[in-house]
């Protein structure tokens, strides 16, 4: 009896590993892209009238005073443990996503059904 995993298991493992690598790569690229955007998140949160001391305190509170790779590692660690961070409004991101997920699923379902109906009509009409 062979101890090697079944070929389907190996293929599935490769696919999962590739998917994880792609997700990590895309998240790192997006994080880096947002880090080089003009403007300061602390200033956006506090407004243009904020004092430099308040802006610096907000930057420390948000962790923006640390290098971008350290910020990304902290963010990724939070995501892996279920902490998606805090939105600019000060609310946790997780509940915000959950609030909107239902509407997004309804929209996706309606769009899929509409696309399927149109595809059927076009398919039948074309022969």
- Say how far apart CA 113 and CA 64 lie, in whole Å: 44
Domain count, the chain: 1
Instruction: Give 2's pLDDT tier (boundaries 50, 70, 90).
Output: low
Lowest mean pLDDT among 8-12, 40-44, 49-53, 100-104: 40-44
- Is 112 within a domain? yes
Q: Is the dihedral of CA 40, 46, 50, 51 positive or negative?
A: negative
- Is 27 within a domain? no
- Max Cα separation, the chain? 74
The domain of 103 spans 91-127
pTM of the model: 0.69
Contact 46, 54 (CB under 8 A): yes
- Give the residue, 7 or 89, on which the prediction is more confident: 7
pLDDT at 50: 92
DSSP state of 92: B
Contact 41, 64 (CB under 8 A): yes
Instruction: Give 76's pLDDT tier (boundaries 50, 70, 90).
Output: very high
Residue 81: φ, ψ to 5°: -105, 5
- Is 120 within a domain? yes
- Give the residue, 116 or 89, on which the prediction is more confident: 116
pLDDT at 27: 96
- Is 82 within a domain? no
- Is 18 within a domain? no
């Amino acid at each position: 009896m062979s101890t090697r995993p079944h070929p389907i298991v190996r293929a599935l493992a490769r696919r999962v590993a590739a998917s994880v690598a792609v997700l990590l790569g895309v998240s790192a690229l997006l994080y880096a892209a947002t880090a080089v955007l003009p403007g300061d998140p602390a200033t956006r949160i506090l407004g243009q009238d904020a004092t430099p001391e308040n802006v610096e305190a907000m930057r420390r509170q948000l962790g923006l005073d640390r290098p971008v790779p350290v910020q990304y590692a902290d963010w990724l660690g939070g995501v892996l443990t279920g902490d998606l961070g805090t939105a600019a409004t000060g609310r946790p991101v997780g509940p915000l996503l959950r609030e909107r997920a239902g509407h997004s699923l309804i929209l996706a379902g309606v769009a899929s059904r509409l696309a399927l109906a149109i595809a059927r009509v076009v398919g039948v009409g074309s022969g």
